[in-house]
């Protein structure tokens, strides 16, 4: 028998159909799903349209953590809708205020060796306990809740070999920043990042979760740690010892690529504006004046992170040139911070303690001032994401963030001249699940009325795909376009997530605010892009809203994984240039014809009527994908299959 990686083992345990060879499609069964409110409303509308009376997963959880500002009725409408949906369909509901979905899932539900998909790109956080956890579009999560398997391209496995242990003042965030420094924001595409080696045992589960969380920024399918005695200890501390299974790679398992990281040789790092992959040592940036420090997000809001910050700040006052905001990851974290006195230490030092929610990470409040430098423990620093288009965001560890808060400038935390705050994690956490509403029994669930306020618009319907696509290039963009470029977050736009006609008015708002009007005027057309198009979040609105504006195909050099799946799900044809140089030969406004009557053929011809030239296009669509596109999207495709079975 060949020695297997963790990834291969978990895929084997969940294999349903497909070809287990790299790059080919494989379908796996899904044990758990999670949604958050900003993607959840669409996911549940789609689940409702599929028409399965109760979820078929072992566990599904609906979290509320993104849209919590409630500046009017919209977010509150969404919350009530989500709660009623959860009660009707057998889903756990995590009430607003309970915490950030990924932190909560690791604390309460993630199981080693299980499969989890979530309508949020940072779902791999649960890889910290050895789950194979992947981000997906809401429709794929809805399909998994309805019992359908999840399709992925059989991944390559990148072994990240960890040796030794971290020195003082260097923490888990610096490990993932080092990975990003080496492989950048698309080096993980097509891979699962699997951590192994002696250094693994030196990292606690929350530290591992920080690493798997931000592995998303490499473009990887997911990231995973083994399930070992450290995992067992964590699950015991969370009163979940029954969820423990040991799960290690086989000795001699072969990785497609190996990265070696000597933990003891790492130093504090920072991702510079405006990419998580632009990583430099903090010492090279030392002295840069800072106007805001943000501590929290699903990457760094665990008890260990915040206890560390509190100890660094203890007895001092933050610099008067900045403000410090802190979003704890969960109520459990807050509970411990109160008990230990750490919360008070942070407040006394001048921290503004905000809600246990995503908050400033997705631009929901606490935007920095004009041209500010904001130093954050979060995972993304895309331009404008903070809510201030000319702010510069640096991504760092909690230690580096706390040091910046004290000194008012970036400084290597080792130069603070303070004793290192060693934090011991409790052997038992203060577990309290009273803000989770468990699923109702069948009979009661069936009687639940769904509550739909005016913010919940009906799902748009789309036509099946014609044999040829014709239209203008409505927009041409460059490399690494993020879903934040396509459909921004933030306090103005995020509350419109349940209303596609309204949110579609903001597509490409930061790139070209005239795009929606132009796309509608031209009757749709094409978007042209460079490499890694659609990196970042799982928000399916980045496909759904352009589709609503009439976009028929996106033609690029390469796609990011989740966005590619979302385009297919909503019937936008994702095509790639056979010769990337052709990208330069097509201009905005050119009129194109693309013949797509046989999407199974890997070769597609693009005729540029304006230039009188032809280009060859390719794609990575499977036969199933082609069927979904032909049907006008995955929802129509699923419904037609269910109708045929009835």
In angstroms, the CA 472 to CA 305 distance is 50
Candidates 11, 28, 38, 310; binder of ligand MIC (CB under 6 A) is 38
Closest CA to 213 of 123, 129, 294: 123
Give how far Cα 222 sits from Cα of 152, 414, 429, 581, Å.
Answer: 11, 32, 27, 31
Cβ proximity to ligand MIC: between 488 and 525 the closer is: 488
- Which does residue 39 touch among ligand SF4, ligand MIC, none (CB within 5 to 8 A, set by kind)? ligand MIC
Structure tokens given for 516 = 């929606």
Q: Hey, which residues does 559 pair with through a beta bridge?
A: 533
Q: How far is the CB of 426 from ligand MIC (least distance, A)?
A: 28
Candidates 5, 381, 538, 608; binder of ligand MIC (CB under 6 A) is 538
Binding to ligand MIC in span 127-186, by CB under 6 A: 135
> Helix H segments across 255-320?
282-285, 303-313
Candidates 103, 537, 569, 615; binder of ligand MIC (CB under 6 A) is 537
Q: Catalytic pick from 14, 66, 541, 619?
A: 66
Binding to ligand MIC in span 311-370, by CB under 6 A: 362
Question: Is there a catalytic annotation at residue 600?
Answer: no
Cβ proximity to ligand SF4: between 6 and 101 the closer is: 101
Q: Catalytic pick from 31, 120, 140, 484?
A: 120
Question: Is there a catalytic annotation at residue 184?
Answer: no
- Which does residue 539 touch among ligand SF4, ligand MIC, none (CB within 5 to 8 A, set by kind)? ligand MIC
Does residue 33 bind ligand MIC (CB under 6 A)?
Answer: no
Which are the contacts of 326, defined by CB distance < 8 A and separation ≥ 6? Answer: 294, 295, 296, 306, 309, 346, 351, 352, 353, 354
Does residue 488 bind ligand MIC (CB under 6 A)?
Answer: no
The answer to whether the beta carbons of residues 355 and 327 sit under 8 Å apart is yes
Q: Hey, which residues does 25 pair with through a beta bridge?
A: 153
Candidates 240, 376, 539, 634; binder of ligand MIC (CB under 6 A) is 539
Question: Is there a catalytic annotation at residue 539?
Answer: yes
Using only C-alpha atoms, the chain has a radius of gyration, in whole angstroms, of 24
Give how far Cα 305 sits from Cα of 35, 433, 435, 565, Å.
Answer: 25, 22, 23, 34
Structure tokens given for 564 = 């590619």
Does residue 489 bind ligand MIC (CB under 6 A)?
Answer: yes
DSSP code at position 408: S
Give how far Cα 507 sits from Cα of 35, 510, 512, 514, Å.
Answer: 23, 8, 9, 9
User: Cα–chain-centroid distance for residue 472?
Assistant: 32
In angstroms, the CA 148 to CA 153 distance is 16
Of the candidate spans 153-161, 226-234, 533-541, 633-641, the one that interacts with ligand MIC by CB under 6 A turns out to be 533-541
Cβ proximity to ligand MIC: between 399 and 484 the closer is: 484
Does residue 41 bind ligand MIC (CB under 6 A)?
Answer: no
Q: Catalytic pick from 380, 541, 561, 563?
A: 380
Interface residues toward ligand SF4, by CB under 6 A: 66, 100, 120, 122, 297-298, 358, 361-362, 378-379
Of the candidate spans 392-400, 535-543, 569-577, 624-632, the one that interacts with ligand MIC by CB under 6 A turns out to be 535-543
User: In which residue are the tokens 């990457």 written?
Assistant: 299
Cβ proximity to ligand SF4: between 60 and 297 the closer is: 297
DSSP code at position 390: T
Cβ proximity to ligand MIC: between 311 and 380 the closer is: 380
Question: Is there a catalytic annotation at residue 120?
Answer: yes
- Which does residue 100 touch among ligand SF4, ligand MIC, none (CB within 5 to 8 A, set by kind)? ligand SF4
Question: Is there a catalytic annotation at residue 65?
Answer: yes
Does residue 121 bind ligand MIC (CB under 6 A)?
Answer: yes
φ/ψ (deg, to 5) at 251:
-60, 135
Measured at the CA of 559, the angle between CA 474 and CA 134, to 5 degrees, comes to 130
Question: Is there a catalytic annotation at residue 12?
Answer: no
Reduced DSSP (H G I as helix, E B as strand, rest coil) percent helix, strand, coil of the chain, to 5: 35, 20, 45
User: In the complex, which residue's CB is closest to ligand MIC?
Assistant: 537
Residues at the contact surface with ligand MIC, assessed by CB under 6 A? 38-39, 66, 120-122, 135, 362, 380, 489, 536-539
Catalytic residue positions, numbered: 65-66, 120, 380, 537, 539
């Amino acid at each position: 028998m060949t020695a297997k990686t963790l990834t291969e083992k978990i895929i084997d345990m969940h294999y349903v159909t497909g070809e287990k060879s790299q790059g080919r499609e494989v379908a796996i069964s899904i044990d758990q799903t999670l949604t958050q409110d900003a993607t959840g409303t669409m996911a549940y509308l789609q689940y409702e349209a599929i028409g399965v009376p109760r979820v078929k997963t072992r566990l599904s959880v609906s979290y509320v953590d993104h849209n919590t500002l409630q500046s009017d009725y919209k977010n509150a409408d969404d919350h009530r809708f989500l709660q009623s949906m959860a009660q009707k369909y057998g889903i756990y509901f995590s009430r607003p205020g309970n915490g950030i979905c990924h932190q909560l899932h690791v604390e309460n539900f993630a199981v080693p060796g299980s499969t989890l998909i979530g309508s949020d790109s940072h779902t791999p956080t649960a890889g910290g306990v050895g789950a194979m956890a992947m981000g997906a579009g809401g429709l794929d999560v809805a399909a998994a809740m309805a019992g359908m398997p999840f399709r992925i391209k059989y991944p390559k496995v990148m072994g990240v070999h960890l040796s030794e242990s971290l020195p003082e003042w260097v923490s888990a965030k610096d490990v993932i920043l080092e990975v990003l420094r080496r492989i950048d924001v698309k080096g993980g595409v097509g891979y699962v990042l699997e951590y192994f080696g002696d250094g693994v045992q030196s990292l606690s589960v929350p530290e591992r979760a920080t690493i798997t969380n931000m592995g998303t920024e490499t473009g990887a399918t997911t990231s995973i740690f083994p399930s070992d005695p450290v995992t067992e200890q964590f699950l015991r501390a969370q009163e979940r010892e029954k969820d423990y299974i040991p799960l290690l790679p086989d000795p001699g398992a072969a990785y497609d690529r190996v990265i070696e990281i000597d933990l003891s040789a790492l130093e504090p790092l920072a991702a510079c504006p405006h990419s998580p992959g632009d990583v430099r040592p903090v010492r090279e940036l030392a002295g840069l004046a800072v106007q805001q420090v943000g501590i929290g997000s699903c990457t760094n809001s665990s008890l260990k992170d915040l206890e560390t910050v509190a100890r660094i700040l203890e007895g001092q006052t933050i610099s008067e040139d900045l403000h410090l905001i802190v979003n704890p990851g969960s109520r459990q974290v807050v509970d411990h911070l109160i008990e230990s006195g750490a919360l008070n230490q942070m407040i006394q030092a001048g921290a503004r303690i905000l809600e246990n929610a995503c908050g400033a990470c997705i631009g929901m409040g606490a935007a920095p001032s004009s041209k500010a430098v904001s130093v954050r423990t979060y995972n993304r620093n895309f331009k404008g994401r903070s809510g201030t288009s000319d702010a510069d965001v640096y991504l760092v560890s909690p230690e580096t963030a706390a040091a910046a808060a004290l000194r008012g400038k970036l400084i290597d935390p080792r130069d603070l001249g303070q004793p290192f705050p060693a934090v011991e994690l409790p052997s038992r956490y203060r577990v309290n699940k009273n803000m989770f509403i468990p699923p109702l029994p069948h009979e009661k669930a069936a009687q639940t009325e769904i509550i739909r306020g005016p913010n919940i618009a009906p799902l748009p319907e789309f036509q099946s795909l014609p044999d040829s696509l014709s239209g203008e290039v409505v927009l041409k963009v460059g490399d690494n376009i993020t879903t934040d470029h396509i459909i921004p977050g933030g306090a103005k736009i995020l509350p419109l997530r349940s209303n596609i006609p309204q949110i579609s008015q903001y597509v490409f708002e930061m790139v070209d605010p005239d795009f929606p009007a132009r796309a509608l005027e031209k009757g749709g057309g094409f978007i042209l892009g460079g490499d890694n198009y659609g990196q970042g979040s799982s928000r399916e609105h980045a496909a759904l809203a352009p589709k609503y504006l009439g976009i028929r195909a996106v033609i690029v050099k390469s796609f990011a994984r989740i966005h590619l799946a979302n385009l297919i799900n909503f019937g936008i044809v994702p095509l790639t240039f056979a010769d990337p140089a052709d990208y330069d030969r097509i201009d905005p406004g050119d009129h194109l014809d693309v013949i797509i009557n046989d999407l199974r053929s890997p070769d597609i011809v693009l005729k540029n009527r304006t230039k009188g030239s032809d280009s060859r296009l390719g794609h990575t669509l499977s036969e199933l994908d082609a069927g979904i596109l032909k049907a006008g999207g995955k929802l129509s495709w699923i419904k037609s299959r269910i109708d045929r079975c009835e």
